[in-house]
């Protein structure tokens, strides 16, 4: 079994994982138990600069549903997220002049909070459809993640309009789940299951409806901050993300720093300097990828430690074990025993049967 490289790309702002942990704490689930198997700790989640990869969020969502016993958890968490939780993106959405400006802000800046989805407005003479495009396969947590996304957007629309009109229509790209009755108290409007993609369809005249929380000064400030954040992402990702992706797509042999530099038509000294300017090093990036892959292999395969060490480019299992202890504070065998049982207990067979399974 191999893990898709893009599953480890930054995908979520840590706020959403913190909110999920907080919700589960209210239901009696300890945070440490919820985070087991994610490779994350609560102190790491409180770091606003640390984006969470999809693979980590997948483990977290699976565990949250299993430990809470609530299959509609995705919809419930999405409905509970206030606009303020989305930072300056949320501020830009709710402080615009009208709904049109709010949707424009959501479409342009949503990638600052979540990179697994892309929003796109499609309008005709009578209606506007806000389409949500999945940028990669969401696997067995597709339904809860799309449910959460839908409810988040609906809550933002409610903040802007005051009340979502009955003319709203929601196109949901999965079979009607057994818990769809929970939607009745969360969604105002019509629902259609089994559609091609997730869409929110609204009358076009609503685009000119004034925003109840309009604030030109706050909007200008939020938009300025969001634009600066976009530029920072572009500046950092032009090198770091490309190197990460290059390493994540390697099979068993990782390139040296010199080889990476040559691929980018620069000297190794120049690459080292550029990485240092961004607060990291080639070894840090390599360790990051090795840590991700080690966690995945221990949780999802029966490979021996020697095999895993070889696949990660270590000379022997003892070198791998020393690195693993440095990353996780426990030995690979202890981690595997604890987290394989955790993953098995947090499986979603019932969810997949009732929701029609994961869909691409």
Q: pLDDT value at position 353?
A: 40
What integer pLDDT is reported at residue 84 of this predicted model? 94
**Which pLDDT does position 296 carry in this prediction?**
82
Q: Give the Cα separation of 237 and 267 in Å (integer).
A: 20
What are the sequence ranges of the domains in the chain? 5-231, 253-345
**169-172 and 190-193 as β-strands: parallel, antiparallel, unpaired?**
parallel
Q: Which segments in the chain show pLDDT lower than 50?
A: 1, 341-343, 345-360
Pairing state between β 10-12 and 52-53: antiparallel
- Nearest Cα to Cα of residue 293 among 259, 329, 249, 325: 249
**Angstrom distance (rounded) from CA 114 to CA 338:** 30
In sequence order, what DSSP letters do the residues of 155-178 get, joined into one string? Answer: HHHHHHHSS--TT-EEEESSPPPT
43 Cβ neighbours under 8 A, 6+ residues apart: none
pLDDT in tens, 84-134: 999 999 999 999 999 999 999 999 999 999 988 999 999 998 999 999 999
User: What does the alpha-carbon distance between residue 311 and residue 319 come to, in Å, rounded to a whole number?
Assistant: 13
| pTM assigned to the model | 0.76
Give the three-class secondary structure for 271. helix
> For 253-345, CATH number?
1.10.10.60
For residue 235, the model assigns a pLDDT of 63
Structure tokens at 79: 């409905």
- CA-atom Rg of the chain in angstroms: 22
Interior angle at CA 246, CA 243 and CA 249, nearest 5 = 150
Q: How far apart are CA 113 and CA 83, in angstroms?
A: 12
**The CATH number of 5-231 is which of 3.90.1520, 1.10.1660, 1.10.3470, 3.30.450?**
3.90.1520
On the question of a common fold for 5-231 and 253-345, the answer reads no
Q: What is the pLDDT of residue 351?
A: 40
State the residue for tokens 């969810």.
351
- Distance separating alpha carbons of residues 201 and 213, to the nearest angstrom: 22
């Amino acid at each position: 079994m191999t893990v898709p490289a893009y599953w480890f790309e930054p995908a979520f702002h840590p706020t959403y994982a913190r909110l999920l942990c907080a919700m589960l704490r209210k239901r009696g689930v300890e945070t440490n138990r919820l985070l087991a198997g994610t490779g994350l700790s609560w102190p790491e989640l409180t770091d606003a600069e640390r984006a969470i990869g999809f693979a980590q969020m997948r483990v977290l969502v699976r565990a949250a549903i299993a430990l809470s016993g609530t299959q509609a958890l995705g919809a419930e968490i999405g409905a509970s997220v206030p606009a303020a939780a989305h930072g300056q993106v949320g501020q830009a959405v709710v402080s615009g002049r009208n709904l049109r400006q709010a949707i424009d802000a959501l479409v342009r800046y949503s990638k600052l909070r979540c990179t697994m989805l892309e929003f796109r407005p499609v309008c005709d003479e009578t209606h506007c459809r806000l389409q949500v495009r999945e940028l990669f396969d969401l696997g067995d947590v597709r339904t809860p993640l799309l449910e959460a996304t839908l409810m988040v957007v609906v809550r933002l629309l409610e903040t802007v309009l005051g009340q979502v009109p009955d003319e709203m229509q929601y196109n949901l790209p999965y079979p009607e789940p057994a818990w769809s009755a929970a939607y009745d108290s969360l969604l105002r409007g019509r629902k259609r299951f089994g559609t091609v993609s997730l869409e929110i369809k609204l009358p076009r005249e609503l685009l000119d409806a004034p925003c109840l929380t309009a604030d030109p000064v706050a909007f200008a400030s939020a938009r300025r901050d969001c634009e600066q954040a976009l530029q920072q992402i572009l500046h950092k990702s032009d090198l770091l993300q490309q190197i990460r992706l290059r390493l994540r797509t390697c099979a068993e042999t990782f390139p040296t720093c010199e080889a990476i530099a040559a691929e980018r038509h620069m000297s190794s000294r120049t690459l080292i300097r550029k990485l240092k300017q961004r607060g990291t090093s080639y070894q840090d990036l390599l360790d990051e990828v090795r840590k991700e892959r080690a966690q995945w292999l221990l949780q999802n395969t029966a490979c021996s430690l020697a095999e895993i060490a070889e696949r990660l480019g270590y000379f022997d299992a003892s070198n791998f074990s020393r690195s693993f202890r440095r990353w996780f504070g426990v030995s690979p065998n202890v981690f595997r025993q604890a987290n394989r049982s955790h993953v098995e207990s947090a499986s979603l067979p019932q969810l997949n049967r009732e929701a029609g399974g994961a869909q691409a």
